[in-house]
Every structure is written in C-alpha cells, then in structure tokens.
Amino acid sequence: MHTTSGSGAPSQQPTSHSPTRLDWLDNLRVALTVLVVIHHAAQPYGPADWWYVEDQPRTGPLATLSALDGSFFMSLFFFASAVFVPVSYERRGGRAFLKGRLLRLGIPLTVGALTIVPGLMYAYYVHYRGLPPIAFPRYFTDVYLGLGDEPAGWSGPSWPDLQFGHLWFIQNLLAYSLLYALCRWLARLLAGDRERARSPRAGAAPGHRHLLLLATVIAVASFLIRLEYPLDEWVPFLDILQVEPARFPQYAAFFTLGVLASRRGWLERFDARVGWVWLAGGAAGAAALFAVGADADWLGPGGLDRASALWAVYDSALCVALCVGLLTLFRQAVTRRGRLQKELAASAYAVYVIHLPLVVTAQYFLADRALPPATAWVIVSGLAVPASYLLSAGLRRLPGARRVL
C-alpha cells in the first residue's frame, strides 16, 4: 500500500525502469484507502457477510457496492504495493529488504493482532455471543488465544477468536514480499551472474489481447478454486496465513503484474487508449451490476453450477477492467501533488491499519437509532474517513512511528 522502501531509508539511484515516486500512484492509493473505509462502513448495512455489528437493516445497493468493491480494490492494492518491491530490493539488497519488510509490515501486523483485532472481537463477544460476561484479560487468554475450553454452542466464525481481521492484507503482502526475495535469491543461483539476475528487462506493455488472456486465466482459476472454497470463506494456510482462496488468483496475479510493471517499464509505456477502453468496459460492467443487484440469480459464490461460473467470469472481467482502467485514469488525469495530497498519501498506510475501530465504534453508536441503512452508512463514512486520517497523521508524528507507519 505504500510507495517508500519500507524502512525510511534515504533514496538511492533506481534502475532505469524502476519508479522512485509516482504522484498519480500515490493519489490512487489515497482513493483506494478511502474506498476501504467506506466499504467497511457499509458492511452491516448491505452484504450478508459476518461482521462485528449484527442485526442492522440492510439495503440491496450497499450489498452491490460491496460485491463491486470486492471484485477489484484489493487486487489493485496488491498491484500498487508490488510496484515498489523491486526497487526497494535493488536499492538495499536482500537482507536489508527483508529487514525493512519485517519492520514496516510485521510490526503493525503483530501489534494490531494483539490490540486492535482482540478489542473488536471482545466487543462482538460482549454484544452478540450470548455468553456470560467476562473481563477482557480473561477473554484475551481463554477465548481470543484459545487457551480455555471452547464454550458450548460456540457460533464461530472460528475457534478460537484469534484472527488478523482487516490486517490480512498486510500479512499476505508480507508473505508475497518474502516469496519475492526467495525468488530473487534463486534467480541469482540459477543464473550464476548477480547482475544479470538483477537487471530489469524492457518489454512491450500489455495490450487488449494480453488483458483478455489475463481475465480468462483468472476466471478459470477462480472458478476451479471456488468449487471447494466459495467467496468469503477464509482458511488458515499453514495455520498462520489468513487467506481467502476464492480471491487468490486475482491477488497473486496483480502482485506479480506489479512487479513486472516496475521491472519492465509498463507504467510509463502502457497505451492509454487501451486503458480508456477497459475503463469504459469496467464502468459499464459496474452499472450493469447495480442494475441487476448483488442478489441476482446468476451471481454464485462458488460450486459446480452455472451461476458460479458466470460470476467467476464477470467478477474476473470487472477486476481486470477496473484495475487497468483506474490505473490509466489516475496516470493520465489525477497527477496533482500539493501539500494536502502529500500528507494524505503519507498517512494512507496508517489509515488502513487503524481505521476499523473507528468505523465499528460509529456503527455501534448508531445501532439502536432506527436509521435507514444508507443514512447510517453515510454517517459512519463521514465520521470515519476524516477521523482516521487525523488520527493517523498524529500517530505518524510520534517518535519512531514514521519508520513503521
């Protein structure tokens, strides 16, 4: 999500095709971060997914918004994050790169998993479990860490309550970064030439045919995986990595594309005319989705049926179209970088880490006020977005915080 090297180290001269600072990409990250906040603000009022606040009135358009967001926005986050992975590795070398990743990603992940997430899960335990109340320290050890016995009639979504919540993205990004470093090390061993393994190669930017092939491959892989793992089903890969298998083809593909785009100069050479076509297609696909609604019969979460096959194709096409289209839109038209844009971009990563307690607190506050779901969503979004940025700006100014946030 962030475009620095990940450790606060001073910049060095990059390779010929590796970006140093792309203002438009920073602006895109800001927009995506705001979208994450308003996406989570909509969770109790639209989709039928599990959420920290239950029993709220729901509305179809917010369910559709959630489905549309889910089709592309985290894939685009993975792409934007991966763009700066090669330049960080090449500036600093493998060991310093790994140290920076562990610092920048590992510390917020660990701290958040021991503070933010258990706090949210404890609030859910108190309000919705229907179990005798217990103090937070006992909840943390017995229920969150699972050191106590599983209560009778436990309703899930898992036992114990230990999870990474919205920090799954940071955890997965760390895993992808470690895998990238391993691949670079193996490349050096196989090539037998350190410089040849590290030097970027220019290549023709993808065109319509390549993007159609990408969408097709993602659709086929998604459909096959969703035969076993439907959308919104999370599994603990290797008992530690929180993964949604149904979205893995999208996330892995766009992280890989981000790396390739950086090393091969695609960000500069990609034909804007191609991007505008895909943006138009993505906008039309989004409009059609709102027209039919997220609960349409042909939207299947997974399984061996026509609905799931159609949604795998539509979902994958939306993913590619909106990712490519938004990258083009921001590169061509959203390039301004003033003082405000710079501050927002600098705080985007911290906003992602800390926004959820603010969102859920506002949702609890509005829970018994009988507001229409769209009204509650607007209020939560209007409170959480500025509050998250203000809090993040303050946290980043604490001693040592900039190295992590």
Mean pLDDT (whole number) for 380-396: 96
Q: Which residue intervals of 83-130 are DSSP H helices?
A: 85-92, 94-101, 107-114, 116-128
pLDDT at residue 21, rounded to an integer:
63
CB atoms < 10 A from the CB of 25, how many? 22
Alpha-carbon distance of 227 to 275, in angstroms, equals 32
- Report the range out of 22-26, 169-173, 228-232, 301-305 with the highest average pLDDT: 169-173
Nearest to 79 by CA among 325, 301, 281: 325
- Mean pLDDT of all residues in 41-51: 93
Tokens of 376: 């509650």
Percentage, residues of the chain above pLDDT 90: 74
Name which of 147-151, 199-203, 229-233, 289-293 the model is least confident about: 199-203
- Whether 8 shows a pLDDT value over 60: the answer reads no
**DSSP label of 399:** T
Answer yes or no: is pLDDT of 266 > 90: yes
With cut-offs at 50, 70 and 90, classify the pLDDT of residue 199: low
Identify the residue with better confidence: 249 or 155: 249
Q: What is the pLDDT of residue 191?
A: 77
Average pLDDT over residues 262-272: 92
Domain ranges (residues) in the chain: 23-403
Confidence of residue 314 (pLDDT cuts 50, 70, 90): very high
Q: pLDDT tens, 103-140? A: 999 999 999 999 999 999 999 999 999 899 999 999 99
pTM of the entire predicted model:
0.90
CB burial string 175-187: b at 16+ within 10 A, e below: bbbeebbeebeee
Give the DSSP H/E element, type plus range, for residue 242.
Answer: strand 241-243
